Structure 1
Amino acid sequence: MTPRDAADDNPGNEPHDSRWSDLDRPPLNAGSLRRGLVRAGGLWSEVDVVGSTGSTNTDLVARAAAGKAAEGAVLVAEEQTSARGRLDRRWTAPPRSGLFFSVLLRPSEVDVARWGWLPLLTGVAVATGLSRAAGVDTALKWPNDLLVTVGGEERKAGGILAERAGADAVVIGIGINVSLREDELPVPQAGSLALAGAVSTDRDPLLRSVLRSLEDWYGRWRAVGGDAAASGLQETYAAGCATLGRMVRAELPGDRSVVGEAVAVDGDGRLVIATEEGVQEPVGAGDIVHLRPA
């Protein structure tokens, strides 16, 4: 039996006596997802589901390096034990409580200088897909944290991590808290779709909606050579970015920080901060702290 066949027979790839240990969190079915997403002429070339792994990003980068993954490969884990976010932050979640997956993209027709838009593009796609399938209002904290509102409070419900996989590929990892309850949150500032009042926490249609949205946005962006303005990506990202118009502190490499109003996202995807000294400083990497409500 191949690993793919095993995943179909035991969708969560777990011991059979524990597959349904939490009936509110049924396992994903790899075969069903594959039939719904993999099609001739489409982006998604394969969809694999594993029960548990350290990091789907690490696994998919390794597959790409070994020549064992084509563009459009999707790797989903029911549980990640060594998940990583931006700035090498670690986080965990109960099995089957969220969507934890990575995708492999090879935008060969786009200049590498424009690849920095891929995490922001993914953020737009995730927010759009979840809005449609979960009925939850979402916003993006620059560059690509997914925010939801829980009890009138802004909380992070997901994040995105992009990593190069050789000279011609990027692996993008996505983590979304779906059904986490208050007592399961890793930190008080975290949230989930369930806590935000989602109309559905069925991960199958949520994953399909996000991947279809990502295919759509990636196709638009790639068709115009990665031009964020021409594809509509820059405008759409700005419209859904909760960081713009707020006072922020950018914590930058080298123990430097910049404080000011976030006024724009420029053509390179950088956050432009207007400081009290009258300087507009573009920030391409760093941690952004929202200093006051919008």
Structure 2
Amino acid sequence: MIRKSTVTLENYWVIFVVYSSARIAEKHKRFRALFKLFKTFGAEGVVIVNNAADDDAVKIEEFFADYPADRVTGTNQNAEFSGWVEGLTYLRENRKIDESTSFILLNDTVFSHYPLYLSSVVKYLQAAAQLRQLPVPVIGGSLHKMAQRECTILGMNLPSFVATAIFMVNASAANLLVDQCQKVFGECKNVSTWQADSYSLLKQFYNESGAYYVGSWLFSGGWYNSSSFEAFNKDLLRLKLTAIMCEHSISARILASQGELLDYEEAAPSKGLLSTLRQFTLSQVRAIHKYRNQ
């Protein structure tokens, strides 16, 4: 049984972007426990952004039919990031949102592509209570340092970024998130029509170090469902690159606005998400060398 901590969050909303009824069904007990945790830790409510299509969307609605959540039909135009933007927009228009409101954002890969343990979530929620006390834009989650020095994205320094399987932002950071995502959506709108090699493509957005870093795992098998540039379905490539650039540039924009990136997983157990990401970082360093030598 999960006991309520003496440290609870107040005035925060959860925005959950979901694609796959199969993922939900496979991990249904964990998802039920996760949503119970949100309730235990004082969530004002949950917004489920359904990015699935056709029968999958119906099955997802059936799974959450007895859960008291707000529901938004997502466009899936820009994967999970358009879902989070649509969820934040919905809350602004339909719920009482002010500068003291915080948001936990996640998608349905947290128990499949990422081995997230509920014990890590408890520690994460306890640590996130400090978010409301900080007067600057803050994003918190699993902090991931760039493997290369002096990386930039869209002209902004990118020393590190917060991974976005599950993360949290305060109100001012949420505003920056929406604005930055809209900029990235515009930048990546026509990527399916670009005729370039992988390095030239990435150099339109990153400096040399950043382009090598991203290319090493986007085009060398390090990113989920990735492939070589030549074999990449261009519509899928646009979604992948949009997601990567949103993840990176949100953190860069918050830093450029004198904000904070907080690592809420540093106290997680050895089998938690941070440990996995550290192993992932090591694999990226190796992949960078492979990519540069191609």
Give the number of the structure whose residues are more often strand, by fraction: 1
Which TM-score applies when normalising by structure 1?
A: 0.30
- Larger RCO: Structure 1 or Structure 2 (Cα < 8 Å, ≥ 6 residues apart)? 2
Which TM-score applies when normalising by structure 2?
A: 0.30
